[in-house]
A = this chain, B = another copy of it.
Amino acid sequence: MAAYAQDAIMLLGDSITQGGYEFNGIAARLAHVYNRKMDVINRGYSGYNTDWIIPVFEQIFATQHEQQHVPKVRLLVIWFGANDAAVPPKAQHVPLERYKANLSKLIWMVSSPESPRYSPDTRVILLTPPPVNTIQWSVRQASKDPPQQLDRNFEVTRTYAEAAKEVGRKEGVAVVDVWTKFWEGAGKVEADLKKYLTDGLHLNEEGYAVVFEEITRTIAERYPEYHHDNLRFVFAL
């Protein structure tokens, strides 16, 4: 039973977050640079969208009453959209307006004094979903047993990325625009997104490396007090 030793970074997201300890991924990279400074709590849930995460988030983020006993979440990284943008009749689909409302709700849950989970020490970073490479993803879908239809659309995912940016501006939180970073890095050629993606949807090592660079740059700019270079070891010789 671990006592409260270090504050934490919570990564809230879908399978792209859940996979963040593999491939030298985003969770492993953050945990490495924040060693002995902050713990990284991976709360990535494969398959989840913003509708389904809200009742989970209510259970994993402490209420004000509970907060005195548990590590403070200094940084909350919210990264959804890859599943919300699945096209109907896919069960994961969340309509664009509700996706935006859900993101706002998640931010409200930690940042509003009216919220039972109000946490004034928590800074939010909102990530846009990566662009989908439907050339890769259709191969992956066809390889399933039984074969699956293509359930993602390049332009639709783009609108979800734009929507996340809009929510970030409206709510005044930092945004890491993964979508644009990958799209520009791939020379705006869908097939070349394979540079960052294993299967058209999930990230490979280079994809995670880019996201790590963008997150730490954003922390330095927006929340420098929580940048790893500005924190001391909790226990030092």
A interface residues with partner B (beta carbon < 8 Å):
1-5, 8, 10, 18-19, 21-22, 24, 27-29, 31-32, 35-36, 39, 41-45, 47-48, 52, 56, 59-63, 66-67, 69-73, 119, 121-122, 235, 237
Contacts and interface: CB of A to CB of B under 8 A. Distances in A.
B72 A1 contact: yes
Contacts of A35: 18, 21, 42, 44
Instruction: Kindly list the 3 A-B residue pairs having the minimum CB-CB distance in the complex, ordered from nearest.
Output: A69-B69, A1-B67, A21-B32
Given A2-B10, A10-B2, A62-B2, A24 B27 contact: no
Contact of A5 (B27, B60, B237): B60
Given A18-B35, A22-B32, A31-B27, A2 B69 contact: no
B3 A60 contact: yes
A32 B47 CA distance: 17
Nearest to A69: B69
Contact of A3 (B32, B61, B122): B61
Given A2-B62, A3-B66, A72-B1, A36 B45 contact: yes
7 contacts: A3-B59, A3-B63, A18-B36, A36-B45, A47-B237, A56-B235, A70-B70
A155 to B, nearest CB: 27
Given A19-B32, A21-B29, A66-B69, 18 more contacts: A1-B66, A1-B121, A2-B8, A2-B10, A2-B60, A2-B70, A5-B43, A5-B59, A5-B60, A21-B28, A27-B28, A27-B31, A35-B42, A36-B45, A45-B235, A47-B237, A60-B235, A70-B70
Contacts of A44: 35-36
Contacts of A62: 1-3
A47 B237 CA distance: 8
Nearest to A47: B237
A13 B32 CA distance: 15
Given A45-B235, A235-B45, A235-B56, A1 B73 contact: yes
A118 to B, nearest CB: 10
A73 B72 CA distance: 19
